[in-house]
Amino acid sequence: MFIVVGLGNPGKEYECTRHNIGFRIVDFFVDQNNFSKFRHSKKYNAFVSEGLIRDSEALIIKPQSFMNLSGTSIRTIIDFYKLNPTSDLIVVSDDADVKIGQIKIQKGKSSAGHKGVQSIIKEVGTKEFTRIRIGIDSEDPAYRIPALQNGLEDVVLKNFTESEEKVLKNVISEACEHIKNIISSDKF
């Protein structure tokens, strides 16, 4: 069994923000792959969907705690199903160090300051899980990460621009293909 976690913040006000690209990707994945509708699990404090990818069972998870506490839900699920995060966990998250339109897939890397990923590392006790990092760094000077004066929060909680949304359509589809390929292969 695989656990695919899309990271984001719960609530309508965060729905289209840069920080919620993980939620958007797993929503699209569920719709495109005939998975069950998301249902809220109080036990896991997450929305959960289930399905099969090429005969491999997968749970798609959207933690409903705020980003910085995402690991608590994931730890509960991993413990319940007795899974190995090293081989069974895929985390989809935004990444301010990656340009919009780019996707990076890694295993065993640090959180690079991403508090949601850091929470997962802390709770599951390892950084040796697969990450799909979705670029949110913009070409628009108002959204440029290096030029920030008030911190990263100013950017990650903003919506994407209209031109960026056009780019994201391809990125979301590509990220979903990566999820399927990771699940269906025996190695990263």
In the block, residue with structure tokens 């990271």: 7
Render pLDDT for 48-94 as a digit per residue (tens, 0 to 9): 999 999 889 999 999 999 889 999 999 999 999 999 999 999 999 99
In the block, residue with structure tokens 């923000």: 17
What are the catalytic residues? 19
Q: Return the CATH class of domain 2-184.
A: alpha beta
Render pLDDT for 120-136 as a digit per residue (tens, 0 to 9): 999 999 999 999 999 99
Query: So where are the chain's domains?
Result: 2-184
Render pLDDT for 14-35 as a digit per residue (tens, 0 to 9): 998 899 999 999 999 999 999 9
Q: Give Cβ neighbours of residue 52 (< 8 Å, ≥ 6 apart).
A: 58
